[in-house]
Amino acid sequence: MKKLIIAIISLSMFASCSILRAGRVESVKPEINTEEKTKPAIIEVKKPSVGDTVVARWGTTSWAEGKVESIDKDEAKIVWTEDSSKSDVELKDVFLKPASGATLNVKPGDYTVVKGVGNWWQEAEIREVNKDVIKAKFIYSSDVVNLSPEKVLTITPTVAEDIKDSAQTQDFLRKAQEHYPVAADYKPKAGDRVLAPWTSTSWYPGKVKSVSGDKVTINWEAGMTTDEVMLDKVVPFPTAETAQTPAVNDFVLLKPSIGAWVYGQVTSVNGTTVEAKTVDSTREYKAGEFVILK
């Protein structure tokens, strides 16, 4: 037994010495974190400088090309290419216009700003990326276009998230606006208080001035010019007595504090009261404060 122990110790010492002589003493390599290995590369968004050609936010949802005339703290003065007028734009909404041969920096599902007509750019969702061709869907018109990389902006995650929120809002409204109030067999007459479309997507209360054939002349309560509306688009103004009970997920028009009635979707029903969500909030509405859309 004693000889065996000595033999084992000798072999161990021999192996250690061999490794040292070969200069091959190895340490245990730490295991690579899978999440780190697959984590997408962070795309650098370069800040614009005076004189740079840029694409900047013009209004709430539009973007346009221009040049940076000056930078003051968090704002840049942009000289617009379209008409040489000038505007102060927050730096967070100003991005370098991509040059020819720009690097592809988007993937399907990304939200960004892409080239539109002339000097105008539009918010869009990237649908496909095939080599150097990018298929994008405009947020507001729903048009789908094929673009090269220099027609797609590299933007910050914050602005991308804002565009995503806008896209979800537009999708909600687009679905809701495919439905209309329906009042079977209703025949309006002079003096009736009604709800009718002032435009294709904005509904207001008013009073019937006259009915002629398939057209109804309405005096709007909001003070707009008297209009003729097609007979089948006019419904009685809702009341607690005439209110119908909607189902969960039904689209509805909801009574506002002021202005046009608001598009919403029912999230729950409790007797004659419903909870409905709009693009801004979710709250309860009583009978007479909503109209079901079919």
Instruction: Give per-residue burial for 60-83: e unless 16+ CB within 10 Å, then b.
Output: eeebbbbbbeebeeebbbbebbee
Residues 229 and 242 grouped into a single domain: no
Does a structural domain hold residue 9? no
Residues 153 and 66 grouped into a single domain: yes
Domain boundary among 192, 211, 234: 234
Quote the CA–CA distance of 136 and 142 in Å, as a whole number.
9
Q: What is the tally of structural domains in the chain? A: 3
Torsion of CA 255, 258, 263, 266, to 10 degrees: -40
The CATH number covering residue 194 comes to 2.30.30.140
Query: pTM of whole model > 0.95?
Result: no
Q: Report which residue type is found at 207.
A: K
Residue-level pLDDT at 42 = 56
Q: What is the pLDDT of residues 137-165, one digit of tens each?
A: 999 999 999 999 999 999 999 999 999 99
CB atoms within 10 A of CB 28: 5
Does a structural domain hold residue 152? yes
CB atoms within 10 A of CB 133: 12
Residues 83 and 147 grouped into a single domain: yes
Torsion of CA 153, 156, 157, 161, to 10 degrees: -70
Quote the CA–CA distance of 30 and 25 in Å, as a whole number.
16
Residues 150 and 193 grouped into a single domain: no
Quote the CA–CA distance of 159 and 92 in Å, as a whole number.
8
Residue ranges for the chain with pLDDT beneath 50:
1-40
Residues 159 and 68 grouped into a single domain: yes
Residue where the block lists tokens 């795309």: 43
Domain boundary among 138, 155, 175: 175
Range of the domain at 198: 182-234
Residue-level pLDDT at 110 = 98
Residue-level pLDDT at 131 = 83
Residue-level pLDDT at 184 = 85
Instruction: Provide the strand spans (E) within 42-115.
Output: 53-58, 62-72, 75-80, 86-90, 94-96, 111-115
Residues 129 and 77 grouped into a single domain: yes
Does a structural domain hold residue 25? no
Quote the CA–CA distance of 270 and 284 in Å, as a whole number.
10
Contact (CB, 8 A) for 122 and 114: yes
Residues 58 and 171 grouped into a single domain: yes
Does a structural domain hold residue 230? yes
Quote the CA–CA distance of 294 and 249 in Å, as a whole number.
12
Does a structural domain hold residue 273? yes
Residue-level pLDDT at 104 = 85
Does a structural domain hold residue 17? no
Does a structural domain hold residue 15? no
Residues 249 and 158 grouped into a single domain: no
- Sorted by sequence, the CB contacts under 8 Å of residue 146 that are 6+ apart come out as 133, 134, 135
